Structure 1
Amino acid sequence: MSKVDTAWLRMDTESNLMMIVGVWTIRPAISLAALRDRVEQRLLQYGRFRQKVVEDTLGAQWVEDDDFDISRHVIEEVLLPLRGQSQQEALRERVGELAAQPLDPRYPLWQFQLINDGEGASMLIARIHHCIADGIALISVMLSIVDGGKAPPKRQQQPRDDQDWLTDTLLKPLSDMTVKAIGLAGAGAGKSIEKVINPPHPLDSSVEMARMGYQAISDVAAFALMPDDSHTRLKGKPGTSKRVAWDEGLPLDQVKAVGKALNASINDVLLSCVAGAIGAYLRDKGDNPDGQEIRAMVPVNLRPMEKAYQLGNRFGLVPLVLPIGIANPVERLYAVRARMQELKGSFQPIMAFGLLSVAGLLIKPVQHAMLNIFAKKATAVMTNVPGPAEALKFCGSTVERVMFWVPQSGDIGMGVSILTYAGRVQFGLITDSLLCPDPEAIIAKFAPEFEKLTWLALMLPWGEEAA
């Protein structure tokens, strides 16, 4: 197992399990037999899903599970809502319970649970340990198991060598891999490295190298000296239970239109809504977030998309500031846009990947102390994943909705997930039940925050954009 994947394996705590949890809503309902057959035919073509983890003094190893039994990994259960509880409320409660329930370490670290709601639909709850793959890789897996999908041949699923990858990325700054990795982290740095490789003037090369070296050192120092995150009721020592929530989603075309009218990106609009919803929630609780900001650790992909099927984890983390204390929606939107601009060209994602690689070599107590540095700097983990533009088919039925929740490390007690799927943008939230027992109250504020921006965009003179 690579050092980074080992770090994710050992990051489990009683408060935060390193599982990616997802839910598909499928209509019409599918049978358990059909699901198991699809998993055997497609998912198990990825060798990793037949392997269990064995730890030793040198780290962790992937080992074939000679006792593999699909009935342990693909199961069916009946969900009975309590009196006065809707099917959706019961589903949210069950997903929260499963998010806090460890996977059995004696077997491969994943499980699917099929729930039929009795009204013609199925809910498929997937739990996959982060040491198997990151979110981008799992999107690739998802696309391979739906109708018409195809898993890559096993010969292409080569094990990755972290050490070589880190050497290429960190110690050979002029390599093509570095251009791709930093280019994904921020267009500014990517262009700068290209100038170093092909400088317009011979003297530019040394100047640009010096500038990049200064940038890298500055990023490391800025992260190390960054003060702990603002104290709100959402930050503290988490407990051992989780709550989840999701919304009905926003039309992607409308989000694009609002962004264009206000001269902002889709991400700017969505993140502004997240910040506004959290700020409004705190105000409803009697807190005063005015002037406050919180940080969310945001994953940044560091691998070519065409190699996502190789699984594992290849992403860095950057701290994104969310201006929750700005009530004015336009002012908040442009504050978010400015924060996003500051991240372009940053070396922090690669630095974070390197720290995770080092952490994978350490004993668990030291690793947890090291990784808690990230937790002290942030209140939430947030990810934004682009999904398929059209609704997928699975076992002949339509996947109407896809939702997932990201794990939180250390003492972080909130995870925000944004997924674009079939023309809609879906928000999801997972929280620690002690720090935020009612995530649905935050989720309910996303749409109103977006409506404010929509109305403001409509008030602009036709054919004009905001400055």
Structure 2
Amino acid sequence: MSSIVHPLEQRIYSWFIANISRPANGTIYPAQEPLQNGWLQGLGSADISFNLPLQDVSLGVLALLALQTGVHRSGKLFPSVTLLQGKWNLRAYDFIVINLLKTILGFALLLVSLPLALPVICVFWVASSVTKLIYTLEFGSSVTKAEGMDSVWGVESKESRPFITINLLLSGAPDLDKIYRHIRTNILDKSDEQGNYCYKKFRQIFSQTYGYYSWKDVEDFNIETHVRMINLRKFYSDLDSQNTYNESENTCHQSEDVHSSSPCDTANSGPGTRSMETDELVHRYNVIIRLHHAIGDGVSLVRLCVEALVDTPLSPPTVEPRPTNLFLRAVMMVCSALVLPLGLLQVVVNFDHNALHGHHLSGRKVMTASRGLPLLVLKQVKLAAQATVNDVLLSCLAASLSRHFSRRSEEVNQVTAVVPVSFHDLRAPLTLTNRFSVATVKLPSAQTHTPIARLAATKSLMDGMKRDPTLGSVFWVVRAVSEVLPAPVAQLLLSGRGVTVAASNVPGPQQEISVWGDKVEDMLFWIPNRAPVGVGVSFASYMGVVKVGLNVDTALVHSRDEAQKLLEDMEEELYRLHHRLVLARQE
């Protein structure tokens, strides 16, 4: 892939991209593909980006297309438009009419809600500005108010801590002194031309000051308190280490602020992740990196990894220039603002109640990972179904959830999944921040669906989400609201009620990388749970195979084996699709 679509701006953060990997203990089927030079090269652009439909069509043609849809698509009223219909894609009819109705309804809701919401927002904005002034007068530059969507991840409880957990399998033997030097040089002490730290958040604590979330400088910062060697077998029995890691999480932070944003790196020699256990005979070790989500989202952290942490930084992907049609962009932004109320309702008004949602969370987590899913199989299924890799993976997830509910003797026709959508501009220099909107998708989990029918339904849902004009306005509203709201108010509003699953993806490098001189043989990660959502599914990719990480609260599953079965069902569904769509047609 030579370029990524401009971030009109709604590229899917949860790309579910799969590149090619060689896991240390996995099987690649049927074969590896040649490695690419760029860390995102070789990925199909349809899998990681999308363009809004008809963005170059004149408004006059759009109006005619909408009118023809209003006369039941007869094609008799405007024969010439029927030709345009085939030229510009039939699906544009539904997109235009539905969004025209959304615009009218959204505008009506906006007229009703704006007089009520605007005064409240203004009051909080004044309070936020006064708080910033107090920070400056009392603390100088040592305390700064958290900006934008960093505050979203300040909402924390004992049931759900907002930490991203990353697992790297490295070759060699751990050398703490070497690791200290590498992190200091590449991350902690790296500064810009003005002498300011490039990644200052790693030297700060994320907490509350005067009712708002803030970043506090740590005067006596010592990396040795954050990078440690731990042998889990010394602390837990095999049974405990296989089932949860909640106790180790609490122990790690007993002496730290509960909002501490600094990473906690440990060499893990216990069986906490079966697929990535330490093998001392071949000189491998695990590194567990835990990062507070307020430091940055997945896009920021991937860029940090490939541009700063690795021994040899990889070239960033090239990005196409922004669209030059300013009038069209302005029209799209206005339309997005008009349908904003409907977009917000779609995000916050969900009513899932099933075996995986609706129970009070325990705070104890089961964290497990799948075997590698080969990209070649995913691509073959994608091409055969005229879908995307995203569609295939989400369809497999929906099938897995369906089988889980069946084992619980429960019929659930659809499951709400929340999917982050990136608003990063890859042209800008790397900054650690959170820039994402959110979208919800109703995954088809009915047991009556065949694999092919479920994939078709999932593709239709994802296509609709990609065309959703509310993504941009939801991003700016959530960003503004999370910045001006005090922490207690944000804690009440920023929740995921009615949502069963949160899903995310890290698009890993296509080529082998190394850190502090040790080769990275495998990687996977887990996203945090945000109560009341107790199921987090993550798709990680590195050099060959997509791995699925599952983080689920023990209040929702009976055992680690039950959680592992969810991942096995995903793998089975993928190969079932591969057999029906690819192998059966070759026979």
Deviation per CA, 1:212-247, whole angstroms, max 9, x where unpaired?
Answer: 5544454345445x4412433443221121110101
Alpha-carbon distance change, 211 to 110 in structure 1, aligned in 2, over 3 angstroms: closer
Unmatched runs of 5 consecutive residues or more in structure 2: 1-144, 191-198, 270-277
**Distance across 1 between alignment mates of 2:166 and 2:293:** 12
Instruction: Give the structure 1 partner of residue 212 of structure 2.
Output: 59
SS at match of 2:494: helix
CA radius of gyration, larger in: 2
Return the offset for 1:349: 3.5
Contact 1:382–1:415 (CA<8 Å) still a contact in 2?
Answer: yes
Task: Give the aligned residue type for 1:266.
Answer: V
Q: Does 1:4 align with 2:126?
A: no
Partner Cα distance (1:242, 1:407) in 2:
10
Q: Is 2:312 the partner of 1:148?
A: yes
Normalised by the size of structure 2, how large is the TM-score? 0.64
TM-superposed deviation, 1:58: 6.2
Number of the residue aligned with 1:136: 299
Of 43, 50, 54, 2:203 maps to: 50
Counterpart residue number, 1:244: 367
Distance 1:382 1:209, change over 3 A: closer
Could you say which residue in structure 2 is the equivalent of 1:461? 585
Give me the CA root mean square deviation: 3.1
Residues 94 and 141 of structure 1: CA distance in aligned 2, closer, same or farther (over 3 Å): farther
What letter matches 2:579 in structure 1? W
Q: Give the structure, 1 or 2, with the largest relative contact order (CA under 8 Å, sep 6 or more).
A: 2
Structure 1 residue 385 and structure 2 residue 538: aligned? no
How many pairs are equivalent? 411
Amino acid corresponding to residue 361 of structure 1 in structure 2: V
What is the letter of the counterpart of residue 36 of structure 1?
A: Y
Letter in 2 for 1:335: A
Deviation at 1:412?
0.7
Q: CA deviation at 1:299?
A: 0.7
> How far apart are the structure 2 equivalents of 1:211 and 1:306?
26
AA partner of residue 112 (structure 1): D
Residue identity in the other structure for 1:114: A
Partner SS, residue 43 of structure 1 = helix
Matching residue's letter, 2:364 = S
Give the equivalent residue in structure 1 for 2:462: 340
Structure 1 residue runs of 5 or longer lacking an equivalent are: 153-178, 181-190, 200-204
Matched residue, 1:109: 262
**Equivalence for 2:527:** 406
* Structure 1 letter corresponding to 2:166: G
Q: Distance in 2 between matches of 1:211 and 1:5?
A: 23
Contact 1:360 1:367 in 2 (8 A): no
Identity across aligned pairs (percent)?
22
Cα drift, residue 359 of structure 1:
3.2
Matching residue of 1:371: 494
**Paired residue secondary structure (1:387):** coil
1:331 to 438, 453, 468: 453
1:231 maps onto 2:354 in alignment: yes
Name the amino acid aligned to 1:147. Answer: D
Question: Which of 416, 436, 443 in structure 2 is aligned with 1:322?
Answer: 443
> Would the alpha carbon gap of residues 129 and 462 (structure 1) be closer, same or farther in structure 2, given more than 3 Å must change?
same
- Aligned amino acid, residue 433 of structure 1: T
Task: Please give the alpha-carbon distance, in whole angstroms, between the structure 1 residues aligned to 2:430 and 2:228.
Answer: 25
In 1, Cα distance between equivalents of 2:166 and 2:350: 33
Task: Quickly say closer, same or farther: Cα 1:47–1:213, change in 2 above 3 A.
Answer: closer
Give CA deviations for 1:402-424 in whole Å, capped at 9, x if unaligned. 11111122311010001121111
Indicate conservation of the 8 Å contact 1:7/1:357, yes or no: no
Given the superposition, is the C-alpha separation of residues 66 and 401 from structure 1 closer, same or farther in structure 2, using an over 3 Å criterion?
same
The answer as to whether partners of 2:152 and 2:490 remain within 8 angstroms in 1 is no
